[in-house]
């Protein structure tokens, strides 16, 4: 397990619970994994896929999420592929042939694909070792992102009784967890619940008065960094993005009113760092693997605490300090309540109102915000001062400062040794990374994440053995990128 982890993914140690989950999967047992964004869920099915004969089938709700994960796997030398509605019939035929010859180890599909009898027949011909259901909360109507097509998954256990199932999600209340187990017909799954605490994220609430000025002040701390701003409506996203662009920022929009092509194009620009700010409705972001979002701003009150946690979770997936800011106004509560009043069904009305009330409570808290968020997921947080919310620590003043306010975030222990990296060399390596990503036609983080670049800028390895000791460097990445990055390090040092 450890040798494979290093060879492909470039890590020497597992994150909490990963090793236990992988052992469970290798023993052919069902499991449900509740782990926060950035906690390393994907590895829990990707590594077993490499250690077992046969193919792992991953059910994933979004084409963009599949593409991100397939690109990342190919980038570390793992034969992965996807089948989805954006592909031509000949492309799909090629992938199917590769699965039948055993070339593909991990295949990503959308839940709708399972409803096709021809595809189900194909699955019966493959040596499947595992079904992995990503974003499993989508199966529950009580989840924040219910997808009716996820109900197709209930037949898996019936049609493939001997193949183990792993269901994974970053957010799930007790009700949603129970739904996942019941609707997937998992009789006695092992349930793994990781801490939902994200120590690298800081949380704060600011009054929503002159919100544009507040946003610009926040953005001044994050020039050239990736930022997501969530808005209430399509109209809000368009007007805010237009204004930001007129002030010299690079912003794009994402909402249901745009064509699918335009949404895909804008998302691609954001992922590839061609625009740094995504102004979006909550339609954006589920399953986006971009690890280096440094700031998430909610321009209006979220509909639920669970949705808010999920959206803020798109910040700092790489474990580096990142900031989550809610602009709070009582007027936003009334906007939501206007739509709640239009609902006909009383149970749903009550459920949505309860969710909103909890969001209001979060926005008006006098006590630790982290403690409140974790309590929502039934997790007790006993630390007196979290060092990472505006109720425990005074946040930095809103002014034009060009560095990330590290005093306001509480970096996790593994970050400590990369805080003092050489920032000039980091920028040099960032340019090398951009050039390599452009050459290969992939997002920059597929080459190396910021965390790996920081370590390179700190330890400045100049031999293969030293380069391989850097976190996030496996054998394929050493072969592919070692020479060009070590040359840049040598040139910088000389």
Reduced to 3 states, what is the DSSP secondary structure of residue 128? strand
Q: d(Cα 248, Cα 227) in Å, to the nearest integer?
A: 15
**Nearest residue to 478 via CA among 5, 4, 8:** 8
81 phi and psi, to 5 degrees?
A: -155, 170
Domain 2-193 has CATH 3.40.50.300: yes
**Nearest residue to 377 via CA among 174, 192, 100, 233:** 174
For residue 345, the model assigns a pLDDT of: 81
What pTM did the predictor assign?
0.85
Tokens encoding 112: 């709708």
For residue 152, the model assigns a pLDDT of: 83
Q: d(Cα 43, Cα 26) in Å, to the nearest integer?
A: 13
CATH class for the region spanning 201-411: alpha beta
Instruction: Please compute, for residue 281, the number of CA atoms within 13 A of its CA located in the half-sphere on the CB side.
Output: 13
For residue 61, the model assigns a pLDDT of: 86
For residue 149, the model assigns a pLDDT of: 86
Same fold, 2-193 and 201-411: yes
Q: d(Cα 128, Cα 249) in Å, to the nearest integer?
A: 48
List the beta bridge partners of residue 293.
Answer: 226
Q: d(Cα 269, Cα 278) in Å, to the nearest integer?
A: 9
Total residues found in the chain within this entry? 494
For residue 286, the model assigns a pLDDT of: 60
| Domain-wise residue ranges, the chain | 2-193, 201-411, 420-493
Q: Which residue has the tokens 């340019």?
A: 431
Q: What is the pLDDT tens value at each position of the chain, 494 positions in all?
A: 999 999 999 999 998 899 999 999 999 999 999 998 878 899 999 999 999 999 999 999 888 788 889 989 999 999 999 998 888 999 999 999 999 999 999 999 999 998 888 999 999 999 999 999 999 988 987 766 788 888 889 889 999 999 999 999 987 778 889 999 999 999 999 999 999 999 999 999 999 989 999 999 999 989 889 999 999 899 999 999 999 999 999 999 999 899 988 988 998 899 989 999 999 987 676 657 789 999 999 999 999 998 899 899 999 999 899 999 999 999 999 988 888 888 878 888 888 899 999 999 999 999 999 999 999 988 999 999 999 999 999 887 775 433 444 445 544 444 444 568 999 999 999 999 999 999 998 899 999 999 999 999 999 999 999 999 999 999 999 999 999 999 999 999 88
Q: Measuring CA to CA, how many Å separate 26 from each of 44, 166, 186?
A: 10, 11, 17
Reduced to 3 states, what is the DSSP secondary structure of residue 9? helix
Question: Domain 420-493 carries which CATH code?
Answer: 1.10.150.80
Reduced to 3 states, what is the DSSP secondary structure of residue 134? coil
**Nearest residue to 316 via CA among 37, 87, 27:** 37
For residue 245, the model assigns a pLDDT of: 96
């Amino acid at each position: 397990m450890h040798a494979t982890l290093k060879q492909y993914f470039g890590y020497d140690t597992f994150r909490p619970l990963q090793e236990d989950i992988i052992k469970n999967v290798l023993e052919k047992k069902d499991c449900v994994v509740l782990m926060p964004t950035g906690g390393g869920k994907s590895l829990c099915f990707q590594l077993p896929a490499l250690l077992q004969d046969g193919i792992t089938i991953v059910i994933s709700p979004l084409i963009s999420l599949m593409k991100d994960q397939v690109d990342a796997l190919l980038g570390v030398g793992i034969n992965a592929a996807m089948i989805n509605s954006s592909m031509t019939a000949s492309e799909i035929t090629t992938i199917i042939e590769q699965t039948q010859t055993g070339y593909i180890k991990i295949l990503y599909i959308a839940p709708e694909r399972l409803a096709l009898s021809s595809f189900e027949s194909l699955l019966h011909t493959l040596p499947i070792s595992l079904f992995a259901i990503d974003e499993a909360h989508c199966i529950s109507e009580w989840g924040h992102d219910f997808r009716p097509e996820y109900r197709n998954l209930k037949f898996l256990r019936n049609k493939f009784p001997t193949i183990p199932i792993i269901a994974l999600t970053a957010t799930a209340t007790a009700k949603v967890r129970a739904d996942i187990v019941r609707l997937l017909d998992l009789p006695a799954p092992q349930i793994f619940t990781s801490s939902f605490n994200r120590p690298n994220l800081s949380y704060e609430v600011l009054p929503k008065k002159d919100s544009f000025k507040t946003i610009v002040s926040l953005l001044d701390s994050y020039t050239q960094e990736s930022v997501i701003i969530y808005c209430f409506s399509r109209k809000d996203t368009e007007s805010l993005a237009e204004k930001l662009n007129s002030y010299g920022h690079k912003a794009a929009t994402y909402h249901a009113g745009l064509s699918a092509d335009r949404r895909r194009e804008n998302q691609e620009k954001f992922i590839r760092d061609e625009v740094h700010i995504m102004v979006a409705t909550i339609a954006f972001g589920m399953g986006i693997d971009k690890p280096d979002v440094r700031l998430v701003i909610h321009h209006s009150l979220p509909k639920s605490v669970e949705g808010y946690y999920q959206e803020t979770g798109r910040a700092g997936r790489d474990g580096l300090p990142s900031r989550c800011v809610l602009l709070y106004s009582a007027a936003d509560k009334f906007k939501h309540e206007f739509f709640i009043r239009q609902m006909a069904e009383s149970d749903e009305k009550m459920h949505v109102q309860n969710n909103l009330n909890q969001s209001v409570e979060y926005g008006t808290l006098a006590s630790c915000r982290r403690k409140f968020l974790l309590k929502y997921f039934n997790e007790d947080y006993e630390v007196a001062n979290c060092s990472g919310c505006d109720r425990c620590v005074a946040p930095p003043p809103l002014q034009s400062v060009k560095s990330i306010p590290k005093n306001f975030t509480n970096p996790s222990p593994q970050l400590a040794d990369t805080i003092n990296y050489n920032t000039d060399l980091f920028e040099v390596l960032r340019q090398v990374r951009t050039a390599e990503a452009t050459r290969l036609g992939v997002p920059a983080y597929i080459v190396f994440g910021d965390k790996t670049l920081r370590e390179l800028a700190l330890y400045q390895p100049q031999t293969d053995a030293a380069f391989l000791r850097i976190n996030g460097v496996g054998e394929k990445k050493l072969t592919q990128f070692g020479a060009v990055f070590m040359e840049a390090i040598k040139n910088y040092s000389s």
